A = this chain, B = another copy of it.
Amino acid sequence: MSELKNDRFLRALLKEPVDVTPVWMMRQAGRYLPEYRATRARAGDFMGLCGNPELACEVTLQPLERFPLDAAILFSDILTVPDAMGLGLYFETGEGPRFKKIVRTEADVDSLPIPDPQADLGYVMDAVKTIRRELNGRVPLIGFSGSPWTLATYMIEGGSSKDFRHIKGMMYSEPATLHKLLDKLADSVILYLNEQIRSGAQAVQIFDTWGGALSGLMYLEFSLKYMQKIASGLIRESEGRKVPVIMFTKNGGQWLEVMADAGADALGLDWTTDIGDARRRVGDKVSLQGNMDPSVLYGTPARIREEVARILEGYGAGSGHVMNLGHGIHQFADPERAKVFVEAVHELSATYHS
């Protein structure tokens, strides 16, 4: 593999010195970019895009052509693992992801196979390899997966949910069945992420989009526990470098202290948490990634720069911060405003790294 020309992102995740604060954006390859929409139209639909390594590579690289981003992230979906378990992932316009088969009983859980990442998810590994080749060492490539809890919400509800009726029903009435499912998912995700790392992913992020819907105790027992299992099962070094692990629980700001002990190198923050408070709370245990509200990109360039400055000042001096949005960039964001955001991070952060 070619030598890495910009390793700020990896260095910041490990609290090693950097010249400026690195930055990337969740969902940076997405619908807000006209070139993404064009490629997606050629692919037919979203899963056609995920399943085609050449096109997935193309959209992964698109935002890097526009903005001085410090990392690329594999273009894929968080639900590839349950899809590979045979649940039949599909997307209904305006409805988000859905599954043809729904998991509701212990028998359903028992019948789920643990996917072989080479045989069942080879298209993802091919995308990772293609992207690494095309990146040619420009910036590191992030691999990712959904957290077991988050994957289970879609598998049990059958799609997106507001109140998580069925999975919480199982959690409060049949917790052993849910634990069995989460454990199987954790094992599957370990295999999946390790194969991404072997294929060339240089850091991995676990997206726990729905852990924040739980009470604190239930979060520990049904979400964090399984992310911890994953962290302890991952390959942590590859190509002679550490492979950092980022855990991101949306709406998890109340639980940072326990998250900091779960085996991650860095925690993702949404915008509801003050990053200065977060740094004091996690101490030296982990780096922090985040945390501008994506909606700030609807503001003026001056307002965007003000917000970047505020977050940089909140984190303060020294390494250990990767700037990002607190959630995926919105589909209606103006790419020119995203550029203002990314450029402001480099311009305004040098003073914190002297």
Contact = CB atoms under 8 A, between A and B. Distances in A.
Contact of A168 (B169, B214, B295): B295
Chain A: interface secondary structure? Answer: helix
A232 interface: no
A131 B254 CA distance: 39
A242 interface: no
A254 B215 CA distance: 14
A330 B162 CA distance: 11
A272 interface: yes
Interface string A137-172: 000000000000000000000000001110011011
A217 B273 CA distance: 10
A216 B274 contact: yes
Contacts of A253: 254
Contact of A293 (B215, B296, B330): B215
A294 B165 CA distance: 10
A353 interface: no
A272 B293 contact: no
A111 interface: no
Interface in A293-315: 293-296, 298-300, 303, 310
A173 interface: yes
B212 A298 contact: no
A91 interface: no
B216 A272 contact: yes
Contacts of A213: 272
A212 B272 contact: yes
Interface residues of A, number: 33
A46 interface: no
A299 B172 contact: yes
A272 B214 contact: yes
Nearest to A292: B215
A251 interface: yes
Given A163-B330, A274-B216, A169 B254 contact: no
Nearest to A160: B162
Nearest to A252: B272
A271 interface: yes
Interface in A261-295: 271-274, 293-295
B215 A298 contact: no
A295 B169 contact: yes
A171 B296 CA distance: 9
Contacts of A273: 216, 254
A172 B296 contact: yes
Interface string A210-238: 00111111100000000000000000000
Given A163-B295, A217-B310, A254-B272, 10 more contacts: A163-B294, A168-B295, A168-B298, A169-B299, A172-B300, A173-B300, A212-B272, A215-B271, A215-B293, A216-B273
6 contacts: A168-B295, A168-B298, A169-B298, A172-B295, A213-B272, A217-B274
